[in-house]
Each structure stands twice: as structure tokens, then as C-alpha cells.
Structure 1
Amino acid sequence: MGLFSRNNKDIEADFSAKGMTAISKGSAIVGDITNECNLHIDGIITGNIISNAIVTVGTSGRVNGKIRAYKIIVSGICKGELEADIVEILTNSKVVGDITSSKLILERDSYFEGRNQKKQLNEYIEMK
């Protein structure tokens, strides 16, 4: 992971030292997840996710629940609230639910249905 965004103007935190948890395609989890490392989802999660790092929903990933993280990247489908400093909804992905973020990036051919609310940058996410 790089330290710069695509336009090389915004410096992002480097979470590469935090480690990675992966939920593989074909896996399904029912329940809440709380973690402090990066999380990559290619399976199905029904429940809430709280992380102080980056949560990525891969192209085959599906999340039905609230996600709170430093950064959320969606390539698959999310149904529920998203709250992060940075939310990226990539091409051919779908988000249905409200988003609270300080920076929202919608790529061409992405789908977002809900409200977007401004968040103060770098608010600490309380782990409960």
C-alpha cells in the first residue's frame, strides 16, 4: 500500500505494519467483528464491523451491517451505514445506506443510495 492517494496530494496513514485479516470467498460470518488491523472481505458478513484501520470489501464481498473504520474501500456490495474518515466506492460496486465521512470518493459506474454526512477528519474510533 502506498502512502499517497491517486492524486498524490493527500497523505494517508500507512497501516501496512498493522497486519491483515482476510475473509475469503465462500466464507460467511454472522456476528460483529472488532479488530485493529486491516480487514479484507471477499466472503459474506452479516453483522457490524469496527476497525481502527482499513476495511476493504472485495469484488465478491458482501456486508450487511454497519462499518466503522479509518478508511472503507468498497468493490462489492454493502447494505448498512458506513462511517470513516475516507470512503471509496469503486467501479461496479454498490452501497445502500447512509455514509458519514470527511472524504467520499465515488468512481464512475458505482452505485450509492443513501445520505452523505460530513465527519470531522481523524476522529478516534472507540473500540467497544
Structure 2
Amino acid sequence: MAIFSKKEKIQLDQQTISTIINSGCVFDGNFKAPGITRIEGTINGNIAIDHGLILGEKGIVNGNIDTQEIIVYGEVNGDIACASIEIRTTGKINGDIKTQSLSIETGGAYNGRIVMAN
């Protein structure tokens, strides 16, 4: 069930992924990508992705995220600025969110403040 959203679910996981950071990979520093990105590893730094981000169950981000759409199965320790966000059952966010659309599945965890922007 979606919270704060009448929009249909994000379709990122059905689109072509242009960048993948696999499980076991650790990236230290700011990360920037133009297309849809899937992260299963760890990013220690800020992330800027033009289109969308899928943070897999093993994915961890220690930094801020700026993207259009995001699906969170993993863990974020930082702030998120996006147009649309889904926090799935295994997802955990510790930080503030600025978004237009928010959906949290049962079991998903969110600790922070939220600003619903137009």
C-alpha cells in the first residue's frame, strides 16, 4: 500500500540499467551517472544520477542522493532529493527526504524528516 502517493509504482526495475555497482564493490568518493543505476555494493560519498537509482538489498549508501526516481531495497545513511521514492520491505533510510511522491511497503524503515514538494 502506498503512503502519500496516488501515482502508480515506479517502473525503474523494468527499464534498461546503464550502470551497475555489484555486491562486494566499495566506491569511496562522489558518484555521478547519466542513466539508470543499480547499486548492490557500498558507496561512501554523495550520488547524483540524472534518471533513476535502484538500491539493491545488499546496497549501502553513506552519503546524500540526488536523482529523479529511486527504489530502496538496501540502506541509505544520508539525505535524498528526488521526484519519486519507493522504500521496499527490506529498505532502510536514515536521513531527510525531499520528494513529490513517497511509497513505503510494510517493513520498510524511515528515520528522518520529509518535505513533500511540488
Unaligned stretches of 5+ in structure 2?
1-6
CA distance in 2, matches of 1:10, 1:28: 33
TM-score w.r.t. length of structure 2: 0.86
More RCO (CA 8 Å, sep 6+): 2
Number of matched residues? 112
Match of 1:77?
Answer: 75
CA distance in 2, matches of 1:10, 1:59: 22
Tell me: CA distance 1:12–1:97, structure 2 relative to 1, closer, same or farther (3 Å).
closer
- Alpha-carbon shift at residue 12 of structure 1 (Å): 6.5
CA distance in 1, matches of 2:73, 2:50: 20
Q: Write the deviation string for residues 33-66 of structure 1: whole angstroms up to 9, x where unpaired.
A: 1111111000000001111111111000000000
* Counterpart among 52, 58, 73 of residue 50 in structure 2: 52
CA distance in 2, matches of 1:101, 1:53: 14
Match of 1:92?
Answer: 90
TM-score w.r.t. length of structure 1: 0.80
- Alpha-carbon shift at residue 16 of structure 1 (Å): 3.7
- Deviating beyond 2 angstroms after TM superposition, the runs of 4 or more aligned structure 1 residues are 9-17
Amino acid aligned to 2:48: I
Q: Which has the larger radius of gyration?
A: 1
CA distance in 2, matches of 1:114, 1:84: 15
Match of 2:99?
Answer: 101
CA distance in 2, matches of 1:13, 1:116: 23
CA distance in 2, matches of 1:78, 1:25: 15
Tell me the C-alpha RMSD between the 2 structures: 2.2
* Counterpart among 21, 39, 55 of residue 37 in structure 2: 39
